[in-house]
Chains A and B, each alone.
Chain A
């Protein structure tokens, strides 16, 4: 389990997030939602060891600040919002970088073919020889996810659960690939790993999240299951926007929800 208690992050003199309690349990998808600038990414960067923080973060019972980069890399993989590249790597070379420091959890022989398997998983079969810079934004995002999956291919190693940190993993994807990616996350959790995801789509959140953490101005506004958290008044308070949960559009306006996927 990943456990954060009273975590605050300041950048310069400005306090970006304050006093967050958070848990990511193995077998579950924990999502963070909230308006732009509410501190979701900052908190995730504290969880991944990128930002200094006050408070306590423990990963599988070990204090995060005691973990060396290589140790942390063997228990969690991080998908950032965007990744730019200055050299002409092929897609396969990028995905293989996932194996650079962590533990994929497969044998050396299997590891050789892991990039292809990971690419197939994110629906990029046949892209291995393409140049990363020539791909569309959505394809690049999926290549990065394939790299992240290589790093923690086995959700559990030596009885220790491992974690996926996903910062807006579906932000530039079409609906088909949004569902594919969220199903990968669900599958990872069902096989014993843990997932922390920042999402903006409340419908996807309601569909896939086991627990929702709602961030608002650097504070935790609510935490709980989707049905506990997604309420009209909370959404109005946090997002500043009067919406009604579960209301159908008036008249014949068509609407398509991810939940309707067959």
Chain B
């Protein structure tokens, strides 16, 4: 009865097994890809200005009227230099956050794990805030060398240092204890936040304003330069993640069983932690505190296609990118011509969702 042949032709075409959700997962990934393309076009076309992306795209394609009149030059600038980098950055950040969430959850064998939870985001924030506050004084030599790259670099270093300290604390004789890691993550996050508090205390009025907006999370101020700085890091981390999928699947049965199945568990953990801290550090550097993407996206997808990471990771990247772009469109049109920080939008939608997961899972999983 497990044998079902397509279109009733016995023993031909494709074998479809009961309990195998991979064909559904492939279909969902395809649809998400299509949805992402449409979301990107929609984001490109919408905004405070009435610049029409359609006319700009037409101009690119046919080159007919480009540069001939002032309106299309203005439209070109708005679409190509303001909206397009924002769309690309939003997609990169959304994908990075969602995939990092999915990988962390697989690693900790807990559907509620999130990079925000183990202090990676807090460490990255500390790095970024120290550049904002001390960039003109103590850290001036660094800013002189790295210029606009200083902020993303500092956030990345902050995230990485946190993760490495965490790993040292939680690993003994080559084994990482998840419970110790979660608790150490809470302690490190508290420490990073306290240090951030000290820096905020030292900040002047202008810096405070910068800080507040950065901490709330925003994709405003996206430039091709920023994309050049963090894009390669995020893409590199994302490329490594599909290689983790099989190992993370086996890890769902526990570390010992994963190892019995032939997975090098320590190496798997090491690559996962490094990729996640790189991706999260880069995302935090350019967009500040955008929360809940890493929890909401993988959870929704698990309901839809199941927990197989071979499909969950790419699907998370696509849905994370699309959802963040939608949230960003909302953030910049809801109070136009001003705009809400996107972190507020994701938190307003994500926090109730998180509570809903907790209520549904109460009694089923041990936290």
A residues neighboring B (CB under 8 Å): 45, 48-50, 52, 68-70, 72-74, 76-78, 80, 83-94, 96-98, 100-102, 112-113, 115-116, 125-126, 128-130, 133, 151
Secondary structure call for the B interface = loop
B9 at the interface (CB under 8 A from A): no
Whether the pair B15, A68 counts as a contact (CB closer than 8 A) is no
Among B111, B256, B261, contact of A98 (Cβ-Cβ < 8 Å)? B261
* In the complex, per-residue mask of B271-307: 1 if CB is within 8 Å of any chain A CB, else 0: 0000000000000000000000000000000100011
Cα-based distance from A90 to B254 in the complex (angstroms) = 17
Contact A115 B17, CB 8 Å, known A83-B254, A86-B365, A97-B250: yes
Q: Chain B residue with minimal CB distance to A119?
A: B2
Q: Is B249 an interface residue (CB 8 A)?
A: yes
Residue B359 interfacial (CB < 8 Å): no
Docked complex Cα distance between A17 and B156 (Å): 47
**When chains A and B are docked, how far (Å) is the Cα of A68 from the Cα of B263?**
9
Contact yes or no, B259 A49, CB < 8 A: yes
Contact yes or no, A86 B109, CB < 8 A? yes
Smallest distance from the beta carbon of A95 to chain B beta carbons, Å? 9
Q: Which of B18-26, B52-60, B335-343 contacts A (4 or more CB under 8 A)?
A: B18-26
Closest residue of chain B to A86, judged by CB?
A: B109
Contacting B307 at CB < 8 Å: which of A78, A84, A87? A87
Query: Which chain A residue has the least Cβ–Cβ distance from B174?
Result: A52
B residues 344-367 near A (Cβ < 8 Å) are 364-365
Q: Write the chain B residue with the least CB distance to A151.
A: B261
List the A side residues contacting B28 at CB < 8 Å.
none
Per-residue CB proximity of B307-322 to A under 8 Å, as 1/0? Answer: 1100000000000000
B209 interfacial by beta-carbon distance below 8 Å: no
Q: Given the known A-B contacts A92-B17, A92-B19, are A80 and B263 also in contact in the complex, defined by CB atoms under 8 Å? A: no
Q: Which residues of B contact A68 (CB under 8 A)?
A: 264
Are B260 and A100 in touch, CB under 8 angstroms? no
- Please, how many angstroms separate the alpha-carbon atoms of A146 and B263 in the complex? 19
The answer on a CB contact under 8 Å between A80 and B261 is: no
Check: B70 CB closer than 8 A to any chain A CB. no
* Selected A-B contacts with CB under 8 Å, 30 pairs: A49-B259, A50-B260, A69-B260, A69-B263, A76-B260, A78-B257, A80-B254, A80-B256, A83-B253, A84-B254, A86-B252, A86-B365, A87-B111, A88-B306, A88-B307, A89-B306, A89-B308, A90-B20, A92-B18, A93-B307, A97-B249, A97-B250, A98-B261, A112-B15, A113-B2, A115-B17, A116-B2, A126-B2, A128-B19, A129-B19
Bound-state Cα–Cα, A107 to B262, Å: 19
Write out the residue numbers on chain B whose beta carbons fall within 8 Å of the beta carbon of A101.
246, 250, 261-263
Contact B260 A85, beta carbon cutoff 8 Å: no
User: Which residues of A sit under 8 angstroms from B365, Cβ to Cβ?
Assistant: 86
Nearest neighbor of B110 in chain A, beta-carbon distance: A86
Contacts of A80 in B (CB 8 A): 254, 256-257
Whether a CB of chain A sits under 8 angstroms from the CB of B1 is yes
Is there an interface contact between B15 and A126, defined as CB atoms closer than 8 Å?
no
CB distance from A68 to the nearest CB of B (A): 7
B18, B257, B265: the one within 8 Å of A128 (CB): B18
Chain A residues closer than 8 Å to B246, beta-carbon distance: 100-101
Determine if B308 and A93 form an interchain contact, defined as CB atoms under 8 angstroms apart. Answer: yes
Q: Is the CB of B253 within 8 A of A72?
A: no
* Contact-residue size bin, chain B (C-beta under 8 Å from the other chain): 20 to 34
- For B19, B253, B302, B306, which residue has the most chain A Cβ atoms within 10 angstroms? B19
Nearest Cβ on chain A to B164's Cβ, whole angstroms: 24
Shortest CB-to-CB span from B355 to chain A, Å, is 19
A-contact 0/1 string along B93-129, CB 8 Å cutoff: 0000000000000000111000000000000000000
- A70, A87, A112 interface centre (most CB from chain B within 10 Å): A87
State whether A97 touches B261 (Cβ < 8 A). yes
Contacts of B17 in A (CB 8 A): 92, 112-113, 115-116, 128
Q: Given that A89-B306, A92-B17, A128-B18 are known contacts, is A100 also in contact with B249, CB under 8 Å in the complex?
A: yes
17 new A-B contacts, CB < 8 A, other than A69-B264, A69-B265, A87-B109, are A50-B259, A74-B262, A77-B260, A83-B253, A86-B365, A87-B252, A87-B307, A88-B302, A88-B307, A90-B21, A90-B306, A92-B17, A93-B306, A98-B261, A101-B250, A116-B3, A128-B20
A45, B259: Cα distance in complex, Å: 12
Contacts of A73 in B (CB 8 A): 260-262
Q: Is the CB of B306 within 8 A of A69?
A: no
Are B18 and A129 in contact, CB atoms less than 8 angstroms apart? yes
Q: Are B257 and A83 in contact (CB under 8 A)?
A: yes
Q: Inside 8 A of B261's CB, which chain A residues have their CB?
A: 73, 97-98, 100-102, 151
Interface residues of B in 1-43 (CB under 8 A from A): 1-3, 15, 17-21
Smallest CB gap from A112: residue in B? B15
**In the bound complex, do residue A100 and residue B262 qualify as a contact, i.e. CB atoms below 8 Å apart?**
yes
A100 engages B250 (CB within 8 Å): yes
A70-B257 contact, Cβ under 8 Å, with A88-B302, A100-B246, A128-B19: no
Closest partner residue, chain B, to A120 (CB atom)? B2
Across the interface, name the chain A residue whose C-beta is closest to B250: A100
How far apart are the CA atoms of A46 and B265 in the complex, in Å? 17
Complex CA distance for A37 and B139, rounded to whole angstroms: 59
B253→A87 contact, CB < 8 A = no
- In the bound assembly, the distance between CA atoms of A96 and B250 in angstroms comes to 10
The 7 A-B pairs with the shortest beta carbon distances in the complex, nearest first, are A101-B262, A73-B262, A92-B19, A87-B307, A128-B19, A129-B19, A90-B19
Q: How far, in Å, is A83 (CB) from chain B's closest CB? A: 6
Residues of B within 8 A of A50 (CB): 256, 259-260
